[in-house]
Amino acid sequence: MIDYTKIQACLTGTNQLVGYRNSDDSCVGNIINSNVTGSTSGKYVTSIPGITMELIKANLSSDYSTVTAYLNYINGEEVINAVQDFVKRHKELTGARHLIDNIDPVKSRDIFFTDKITKSGRFVGIEITPLQSDNVAVWLRMFGTQFDTIEAARTIYLYDCSQNTAIKTFTLTTTKTLSLEWWTLTDFVCNYKSTTGGTGARFLLGYYENDFTGQAIDTRLWNNCCGNYWVSEYQKYVTVRGVTFESTQLNGTSLPNIEQISYTDQTFGLHLKATVTCDISDTICQNKQLFDSIVQKKLAMRILWDFYNSNRTNANADFSRDKAMNNITRLEKEYEDDLKGIRMDFTDIDRVCQPCSKNTIYTQTMR
């Protein structure tokens, strides 16, 4: 699994892998600002023959207010496209696998609408602790809620115990009373190792009782007794527990003192669906210098294609289209050669994520 949002963040913006240089031609002028002139690799798209600021300026359509805005936009798109091309070409190297799909740790068969949680001003929810592993990530795909009243604009928090403030929030407005209602999460990821957080963190998904007007239905976690063998299967990779912090332990919406946490099998009206997978995004970010040539050429090809397909009819564009196509053909071959030359052996980076055979992808689905 690869988190392309993370890939984009570590290869663009202040971390821009490949930059651009302003033209020395006084007729063109300094038309880009420092947002796109930085280069952590020391490579520049404008170093490629045929890529000039005059040509880039000719690409500017009414969709972009400035040349800098245009370059920022294509940077975000083409770094992802370059990494995706690498992944497709090197599937045998990027064979990171799903470990467990469709974890649903909250049991529904024993839910009774008359069983409600008495509020006492606490923070309540679910703790998610990934297995100790360099590359294991728990993707929270959906969460469910069950309350006895309609709740408007309520906030659910995700905390990483290495951070004082929530790393993600989700605002919901329920439409049902008593019944289970599901919500889709985006980028709610719990990594054992994180480039933005700590290592070996535990994560808390929950809410502050005082934010809700009604009462939660009493929901509880499955245990691994009584033939529930599949609970032991997902607990090989992630531990899920109900948690509470008493009202006296809270400090606004900052992470409560983790030493004062209490555990329970209750989930306080919350349900959860998650996937445990091997995430190689950080490995790519840590080795991003290997991608400087393909990103440089991918951006150059995008600029040339935009120029070639431009609806602008100025004389410069008409005169140079044939030359642009020749440059595209040359760059495509060089790009393919560079793709073949990148070697990263992801299958050996982790004892959990390494398949028995390098080309084996193992998937298990919980039912």
User: pLDDT tens across 301-354, in order?
Assistant: 999 999 888 776 455 555 577 888 899 999 999 999 999 888 775 554 556 665
Cα dihedral: 234, 365, 197, 349 (round 10) = 90
The pLDDT of residue 4: 86
User: pLDDT at position 134, please?
Assistant: 73
* pLDDT over 60 (residue 94): no
pLDDT in tens, 154-211: 999 999 999 999 999 999 999 999 999 999 998 899 988 776 778 888 999 999 999 9
Higher pLDDT, 105 or 97: 105
Residue 349 DSSP SS3: coil
**Does residue 17 carry a pLDDT above 50?**
yes
- pLDDT > 90: percent of the chain: 56
Residue 263 has pLDDT above 80, yes or no: yes
Confidence of residue 365 (pLDDT cuts 50, 70, 90): very low
Closest CA to 207 of 259, 240, 168, 265: 168
Instruction: List the structure tokens of 179.
Output: 């019944």
Alpha helices per DSSP H over 90-215: none
Quote the pLDDT of residue 359: 40
Q: For the segment 51-90, what is each residue's pLDDT rounded down to a tens digit?
A: 988 888 877 877 888 999 999 999 999 999 999 998 887 6
In the chain, DSSP assigns E strands to 18-19, 43-44, 98-103, 106-107, 123-130, 136-145, 154-160, 168-172, 181-184, 189-191, 203-208, 220-221, 238-245, 262-264, 270-278
- The torsion angle over the Cα atoms of residues 245, 249, 253 and 257, rounded to 10 degrees, is -80
Q: At what angle do helices 67-89 and 315-341 cross, to 10 degrees?
A: 30
Average pLDDT over residues 212-228: 87
**pLDDT grade for 224, boundaries at 50, 70 and 90:** confident
- How many Cα atoms are found within 13 Å in the side-chain-facing hemisphere of 324? 23
Percent of the chain with pLDDT over 70: 87
The predicted structure's pLDDT at residue 340: 87
Length of the chain: 367
Mean pLDDT, the chain, as a whole number?
86
Whether the predicted model's global pTM rises above the 0.85 cut? no
Contact of 184 with 132, CB cutoff 8 Å: no
Domain definitions of the chain by residue range = 4-94+283-348, 99-278
- The backbone torsions φ and ψ at residue 150, rounded to the nearest 5 degrees and listed phi first, read -70, 130
